[in-house]
Structure 1
Amino acid sequence: MSRENPWAVKITEALTHFIALDDQPLSVVDNVGFRRLLSTLEPRYEIPSRPYITDVMVPKLFEDVKKKVRDQVNKASALSFTTDIWTSSVCPMSLLSLTAQWLDEEFIRHHVTLHAKSFRGSHTSQSIAGAFDSMLQTWNIPKTSVHAVLRDNARNMIKAMSDAELPSLPCTAHTLQLVVHEGLLSQRSVTDAVAVGRKIVGHFKHSALANSRLEDIQLEINQPAKRLQQDVQTRWNSTFYMIQSLIEQKRALGIYVSEYGLPDTLTGHQWILLEKVLSVLGPFEELTRKVSSSDAMAADVILAVTVLHRFLTRETDEDHGVKAMKGTLAAAVRKRFTDVEANPLYSIAALLHPRYKNRFFSNATTAAHAKEVLKLELLRLPGELDKQEDHDLNEPPSRKPRTDQTTSSLDSIFDEIADEQASASVGTAAVGSSVQVETYLGEAVISREDKPLQYWVVNKVRFPTLARLAGRYLSAPCTSVDSERLFSSVSHIVSESRNRLTADHAEMILFIKKNLPLTFSKEA
């Protein structure tokens, strides 16, 4: 069967898809078992060489997918991005990522990966800014279409976005990391207890015999056999999970100590302290998961800060032993999130989120200021805002009654604040350019069970100009998690079995892996 045979062409394309989508090394085409499999499935097919896949098929597939991605990106009126820098541990390679997301006219969210660009030399702000300009030019994306870039809190990245004249926001997950780190280190007793816990977990991690003995004890006391979790000090939530696993296995560990001993043990006071730490950091862990989800928005940040601050400043009977840490955490939240309500990328997004509106600002003054900024932003849009006569603004869609589905302390605080603000958020008579804003804000917020983007699908006729802004401001995520997940994929592509892969080929394969599935939807 010739290489140009339609059936052979189809098999070769599928083979290239297999390599890109399943993180297979390019050398798989030389593997005996794989060649025997293909020979069995289609004896007439001549398996292409590795250079042919590398130099012909991967670039061809890359260009095909790139064209389809470009068609989608060019339709977007406003795009939000995430970026990060990754350095390989198996070869001298650094990559600068760029992922994009936007909302279309039907408020459907789209995600694409644009770059994992080779980034050589020093990671200065000037170099990063230059690389960003180059990446945007590659896709013909004007800076006026860039709504926000989510990046980490490193100074070089902050300055790079300023140098490139691009609006940017810090990753909320990274900021929470800094808040918790400061809070955990505020009390020596906490860090000492965590250090002892880390030694205990390390003992079982490095000794198969010790781990086996612990599993036997777990089974004897009718507990599921579970390993203790080791933490990574650069990720605070891994420390949370380590403490959680220690407390879950407290009884089993007590029996183990009495029979075999440990290099270090937690005192009764330290066990109690760790349980308190777990209760204090529980909302942070929940919040980190929520802001890291694929549908989280920059609009969620003001809500998160308000709810978190109330949790930390509320005194309860359970505060004994952790009151100082809660205070330090509250101070860290204020310090790290001090400007969120003054930043239009957050405040306007919150106002345009139908579940939040102006209900979750820290005070009436900042809420009123945010509303005025929103009105000014509306006036900057092309077209006449006041052409509303044909739209019935006086009949809001019926609101579903709130169902009692509170599942966490954060949810209960959310409901508490929303109920407090409901009576203060009544509609007022509005004229001129304020009509849409006042009518929209005067209506009740949607429930936690309702989808905010679906709200705008239903109400874009009632509030057409607000809907245009919502399509822009609700496109921004609140973390750079997309780029972090991208680099998790890169670590599979640039691995020990692929350490000779060039940065250009690595980017092509990653681009295909992330974006090729977008072309499958119509075929599914």
Structure 2
Amino acid sequence: MELLWSRTTRGIWMLLSESLGWPPHVRCFAHTLNLASQAGLSVPRVSCLLGRVRRIAAFFHRSSTATVALAAKQILMELPAHKLIIDVTTRWNSNLDMIKRYLEQQVAVTATLLSNNVRRNVHDIDTLDGSDIRDAEDMDEGKEGASGHPPAAEQPLDQTDRAGAELKQPPSKKTALEDLLGGTFDEPVAQHFSQIDAEINKCRAETSISLNSCLLKWWKKNARLYPLLSSIAKAYLSTPATSVPSERVFSSAGDIVNVQRSQLLPENVDMLIFLKKNM
């Protein structure tokens, strides 16, 4: 249903763009990041590991006996009284949270699954062996390292490497972002002002920053050199390129207006959604 809705929405937007001359659709950055992360986690070895941990976490969520036994083991082993986490497909970082929580509670989970009152209710669930634990630890360390240190492929290239990369790489297709904003920087402005022209020319002569640098911090640092362009960058570059907040509002509305509460007045629905998102 989600895929059908996405395709339908994209088709309607493309039709309106062609007929009414609207700007091209720019895809949600958060969704693109999640799709890339899910594609990377679909490697058979990683997918099998996540599936086994997911089945264990789901068993403890639906079994009250296992939950009580796990709490007792946590007290006995002096572990934090934390529940296991189940990952969510739409949240790419939930896989890391699930793995980290399992590694934290690994001893208590294993002891609980081996207890007599829980073992008879366990079906198709195995604890992780030594190689699985090493894979989970490597996955945990790899994701934490990726959050703080970019991979070598994202490090800035010097002039010689950049020239060689440009010769090897085929010409890329024009993206929707270039179609939407390319004319702003390529086409001449009707009314030219000397200060604006000077800032634009000076900015174009600047050396490109590295991929792991923050663009907003760069504009803040160089605000005195580009007083006009920095104000524009502050206004437009700080806007998150994601539709996640609005979709979360739709999800909250779906939780509030259900079959048992279908007679709610529109103004009451608005107030309930407002309270839900702001309290």
> What TM-score do you get using the length of structure 2 for normalisation?
0.67
Structure 1 residues 81-120: aligned runs within 5 Å: none
Runs of 4 or more off by more than 6 Å in structure 1? 338-342, 448-451
What fraction of aligned residue pairs are identical, expressed as a percent?
24
Equivalent runs, 1:393-412 vs 2, <5 Å: none
Deviation at 1:232, TM superposition (A): 2.9
C-alpha contact 2:220 2:230 (8 A) present in aligned 1: no
Residue 179 in structure 1 maps to residue 36 in structure 2: yes
Pick from 134, 137, 141 the counterpart of residue 272 of structure 1: 134
- Pick from 376, 390, 402 the counterpart of residue 186 of structure 2: 376
Higher Cα radius of gyration? 1
Residues in 1 aligned to 2:191 and 2:224: alpha-carbon distance in whole angstroms:
19
Q: How does 1:86-485 map to 2 (within 5 A)?
A: 154-165=6-17, 166-186=23-43, 188-260=44-116, 261=119, 262=122, 263-282=125-144, 310=151, 343-344=177-178, 375-377=185-187, 379-380=188-189, 382-386=190-194, 388=195, 433=197, 435-440=198-203, 442=206, 455=220, 459=224, 463-464=227-228, 466=229, 469-470=232-233, 473-474=236-237, 476-485=239-248
The 3 A distance-change label for structure 1 pair 492 and 454 is: farther
Segments of 5+ residues of structure 2 without an aligned counterpart are 18-22, 156-171
Who is 2:270 aligned against?
510
- Report the aligned-residue RMSD: 4.4
Q: Is the 8 A contact 1:493 1:510 kept in 2?
A: no
Higher RCO (CA 8 Å, separation ≥ 6 residues)? 1
> What number of residue pairs does the alignment pair up?
245
Between the aligned partners of 2:127 and 2:262, the Cα distance in structure 1 is 43
**Distance in 1, Cα, partners of 2:227 & 2:234:** 12
The runs of 5 or more residues in structure 1 that have no matched partner are 1-84, 87-121, 124-153, 288-306, 315-337, 349-369, 389-431, 519-524
Q: Residues of 1 paired with 2:243 and 2:136: CA distance?
A: 30
Alpha-carbon displacement from aligned partner over 1:181-211 (angstroms, at most 9, x marks no partner): 222222x222222221112112211111211
Conserved? CA contact 2:219–2:230, under 8 Å: no
Quick one: distance in 1 between partners of 2:111 and 2:25?
53
Q: Whose strand fraction is larger, Structure 1's or Structure 2's?
A: 1
Indicate conservation of the 8 Å contact 1:240/1:281, yes or no.
yes
SS, match of residue 169 in structure 1: coil
Q: 1-side partners of 2:178 and 2:219: how far apart?
A: 23
The residue identity in structure 2 corresponding to 1:163 is L
**Could you tell me how far apart the structure 2 residues matched to 1:512 and 1:234 are?**
24
Amino acid at match of 2:9: M
Write the letter of the residue equivalent to 2:105: Q
